[in-house]
Structure 1
Amino acid sequence: MNSVKEASAVLHHRQFRYFWLGRVVSSIGSAAAPIAVAFAALEAGGGVEWLGFILALNIAPQVFLLLVGGVLGDRVRRDRVMVIANAVSGVVQVAIAILILAGVAELWMLAASVFLLGAASAFFQPASQRSIVQLVPPELRLAANAVLRLPLNVAKVLGPALGGLVVALIGPGWALAFNASTFLLSVFFLASIQLPQPIKSKTSALSAFRTGWKEFSARRWYVIMVAQSAVTVLMWLVGFQLFGPVVSHSSLGGAFAWGLISGGFAFGLVGGSLVAVAVRPRRVGITVSLCMATQALPLVALAFVAPLGVIVGAAVLAGIALDISIVSWSAYFQEQIPEGLQSRLSSISTFGQLLPVPIGYVLFALLSGYFSNTIMVSLMSGILVVAALLPLLLPSIRQLRLGQVVDESIAGENDDLLPDLLAKEAKGEAT
């Protein structure tokens, strides 16, 4: 009952309500857009090589502008960043939708549009993630995150299936036109909120980054798990997002089948959160490694073109396992990393995980011209499993568990130095 009251109290905050509406509306269209883009490229005559290039162009600006977007979100009004970013996304989607519907869209136009969308997302995401602290009082932040995540997760489940159905029935142009309308409607809602100017840090960005990098590199367990994630995320994204639509287009009946598979994976992500809360795994190193290895299941099913129901089931299991690993790792990260360092170390690890992805999209797309889809996706499945399980050869990784503090900060044996360093940073005294 208290949770219902808190959720109601959160939505009574006018600014949060408009923020919530803006996020939810745009997420519905955005969940359907990847399917529309993939099949628009395939229908325009692009093979797996072009699709890989397009996916790389979408994620590259998100990787390289990640730190810039984070800095901007801390130095200017976040509502303005979100409005401008979604307005750009809406205009871009309107333009490409019109070109597709008019029958004059070329592959390079589609590639340019996804590049601009990726750049806009690089600025939108950091600003939106940090806006809740300015929209609701501290005692309602947990409820605000829950109220926001629920419809966003539902959109991730329903969006792909809806997008696949729209693409199959009336074409990718209309699916992208729908996405454009959700972006522009989101701009209307987000323009109705007014956030204060963030308090600027007195510490230079370079100095703050140096401290974060030292703390990151000093934690051997963290570096190992980020390296593991860099390989497994690359294999998963290339195998699922690149070859998944290609296999669906050639062997499973097209866009609707791929929408069901993508929706099944998103459904698993939702279920994984519930499983993680119920099971509460404490052996973090073992849990994360085994769950990451499970991501190979739908890749194997796609490689050998299993029946659609089998592939959807494997995608659901992979989604459950992935969210269990995310929940477990997030809890461990928050337990082990001081609060004043969490944003920096999170940005560094995210950058490291995503950096190989654009290169991987292009490289594996080019290799696909020499090998069959079965060989390519099987190869990625094998690499993923090996990379996921390899860290378990180290006792230090097998022993990672919640409730057990691992001291590897740059403070060395004197932990008292780290709080002092962070305090100096807040005052702008760190060098």
Structure 2
Amino acid sequence: MTLSSSKPLPDETAVPLWRDTRFTLLLGARVVSVLGNGFARVALAFAVLALPGASPGRLSLVLACQALPQLLFVLVGGVIADRMSRSALMALADVLGAGAYGALAAMVLTGVAPLPAMCVLAALAGTATALFAPASEGLVPLLVPKDRLQRANGLLRMGTNTSLLLGLSLSGVTVAAVGAGWALALNAVSFVVSAALTARLRVPRRPRGSSSGWTELKEGWREFASRQWLWVVVAQYALVVAALNANAGVLGPLMATQHLGGARSWSVIVSAQAIGTVAGAGLAARVRVSRPLLVAVLCTFPAAVPITLLALAAPLWAIVLAMFASGLASDVFGVLWATTIHREVPEHALSRVSSYDWFGSLSFAPLGLLVAGPTATAVGTGRALAGCAALITLATAAALLSPQVRNMRSPQGS
């Protein structure tokens, strides 16, 4: 593995990406949407916990209802995105997300929030993500030349992570000051703004072939399954994401409530992670690595450290530092992973392959959320967190057994 930031990347003499109108529209849409999601990440958990009769099991159920449609409909989203205008699909998904979070906000603000209705709205929000994500992944190579993909992915992540940091930093204060309902309302507004910006991209409708959606789904599977490096890392992240979601959605807020003072402390912890992701995206946008997948997989190990510290009820400052390091490493992974997919997968199948990536990575996420609360009740929050940390470590070590993961070289670093 070689690292170098002294040599300029091939795109450094080109016109800056921020002067490209379509790229800046995409960046603006993502920044605004993620700002609202930063509020929602904290607000939804504490909104459920603040309701009468709240319990870890209820929180698990609502968050699982949000995660399950992401798994069920993401493959459909990939097929649709490869058959129509990807920007139009993203705008439609934003509209759906705005409606779902707006209704959730109204229920929380009025105090009329029956559990079945919250689960339905959470499921609609998850469906919006399932439609948005594959289209978003497939849109970047249509806007950016191949030799500038790593820079573009880095800039997108820097912008969205900075926005997430702002949302997370303000979310705990907002929840504590005016309640979770207003934070959810801000998320709904952000989806409306994102939809307006995305609609202005006007990427042309893709030519529709004569094959059926089922045939195109099978073609996408062949593209996915033919690349060992791709399915190995996705299998790794099926376990990693399940553990991370259980921590972020249920176990972390529970531990914060039990031992760290509640929403404010948890907001500080997740904000530290967001600061780390900003730094990680900035680093990954410029750094040159000869073996991007090896570096990416190695960058998953730090995710287990803050979860371990939470399990041990470590001091807040130690958890914050570990979350910062975890965030930095996770975004180095994200930029290198996205750029590798954009380079190695044919553009015409990119959204479908990305949907298999999302489907595999999220395959155990609803289960992780669903069992996190009952597990914490049965064995204790600390032991449940320790299990999550062990799962991340073992899955990442297993992914390193793949020769393609260890040996694939990037064009610029070979």
CA–CA separation in structure 1 for the residues paired with 2:98 and 2:369: 26
* Aligned residue in 1 for 2:48: 41
5+ residue gaps, structure 1, are: 405-431
Shift in CA distance, 252/140, structure 1 to aligned 2, threshold 3 Å: same
Superposed displacement of residue 80, structure 1: 4.1
CA–CA separation in structure 2 for the residues paired with 1:91 and 1:334: 31
Residue 9 in 1 paired to residue 49 in 2?
A: no
Contact 1:87 1:183 (C-alpha < 8 Å) held by counterparts: yes
5+ residue gaps, structure 2, are: 1-10
* Aligned residue in 1 for 2:6: none
* Aligned residue in 1 for 2:215: 207
Contact 2:158 2:277 (C-alpha < 8 Å) held by counterparts: no
* Aligned residue in 1 for 2:311: 303
CA–CA separation in structure 1 for the residues paired with 2:28 and 2:339: 28
Q: What secondary structure does 2:82 align onto?
A: helix
CA–CA separation in structure 2 for the residues paired with 1:339 and 1:190: 20
Match for 2:396 among 388, 406, 417? 388
Residue 255 in 1 paired to residue 263 in 2?
A: yes
Superposed displacement of residue 102, structure 1: 1.9
The one-character-per-residue Cα deviations of 1:242-283 (angstroms, maximum 9, x if unpaired) are 211111122211112111211211221222234445654434
Q: What secondary structure does 2:191 align onto?
A: helix
* Aligned residue in 2 for 1:176: 184
* Aligned residue in 2 for 1:409: none
Q: What secondary structure does 1:368 align onto?
A: helix
- Which range moves more in the overlay, 230-239 or 329-338? 329-338
The one-character-per-residue Cα deviations of 1:209-264 (angstroms, maximum 9, x if unpaired) are 33443454444444333322222221222123321111112221111211121121
* Aligned residue in 1 for 2:329: 321
Match for 2:31 among 24, 36, 40? 24
Contact 2:40 2:184 (C-alpha < 8 Å) held by counterparts: yes
Name the aligned partner's letter for residue 59 of structure 1.
A
The one-character-per-residue Cα deviations of 1:327-346 (angstroms, maximum 9, x if unpaired) are 34445555655555554433
Contact 2:75 2:352 (C-alpha < 8 Å) held by counterparts: no
Contact 2:42 2:172 (C-alpha < 8 Å) held by counterparts: yes
Superposed displacement of residue 81, structure 1: 3.1
Structure 2 matches for 1:83-94, cutoff 5 A? Answer: 83-94=91-102
Contact 1:46 1:107 (C-alpha < 8 Å) held by counterparts: no
Residue 364 in 1 paired to residue 372 in 2?
A: yes
Superposed displacement of residue 166, structure 1: 0.4
Q: Percent identity?
A: 32
Name the aligned partner's letter for residue 371 of structure 1.
V
* Aligned residue in 2 for 1:223: 231
Structure 2 matches for 1:275-314, cutoff 5 A? Answer: 275-276=283-284, 280-284=288-292, 286-314=294-322
Q: What secondary structure does 2:377 align onto?
A: coil
User: 1 or 2 for the larger relative contact order (CA 8 Å, sep ≥6)?
Assistant: 2
Contact 2:291 2:407 (C-alpha < 8 Å) held by counterparts: yes
Superposed displacement of residue 389, structure 1: 1.3
* Aligned residue in 2 for 1:423: none
Residue 116 in 1 paired to residue 124 in 2?
A: yes
Name the aligned partner's letter for residue 41 of structure 2.
P
CA–CA separation in structure 1 for the residues paired with 2:13 and 2:181: 41
* Aligned residue in 2 for 1:375: 383
Structure 2 matches for 1:187-202, cutoff 5 A? Answer: 187-192=195-200, 194-202=202-210
The one-character-per-residue Cα deviations of 1:168-201 (angstroms, maximum 9, x if unpaired) are 1211011112222222333444455544322223
Q: What secondary structure does 1:200 align onto?
A: coil
* Aligned residue in 1 for 2:105: 97
Shift in CA distance, 293/112, structure 1 to aligned 2, threshold 3 Å: same
Structure 2 matches for 1:234-249, cutoff 5 A? Answer: 234-249=242-257
- Which range moves more in the overlay, 68-77 or 131-140? 131-140
Shift in CA distance, 374/100, structure 1 to aligned 2, threshold 3 Å: same
Cα RMSD over matched residues?
Answer: 3.2
Superposed displacement of residue 78, structure 1: 4.2
Q: What secondary structure does 2:111 align onto?
A: coil
- Which range moves more in the overlay, 140-149 or 189-198? 140-149
Shift in CA distance, 27/229, structure 1 to aligned 2, threshold 3 Å: closer
The one-character-per-residue Cα deviations of 1:48-96 (angstroms, maximum 9, x if unpaired) are 2111111111111112111212222333344543343323322332322
Match for 2:240 among 207, 214, 232? 232
* Aligned residue in 2 for 1:68: 76
Q: What secondary structure does 1:88 align onto?
A: helix
* Aligned residue in 1 for 2:362: 354
- Which range moves more in the overlay, 314-323 or 133-142? 133-142
Name the aligned partner's letter for residue 390 of structure 2.
G
Q: What secondary structure does 2:112 align onto?
A: coil
Contact 2:43 2:181 (C-alpha < 8 Å) held by counterparts: yes
Shift in CA distance, 3/249, structure 1 to aligned 2, threshold 3 Å: farther
Contact 1:168 1:254 (C-alpha < 8 Å) held by counterparts: no
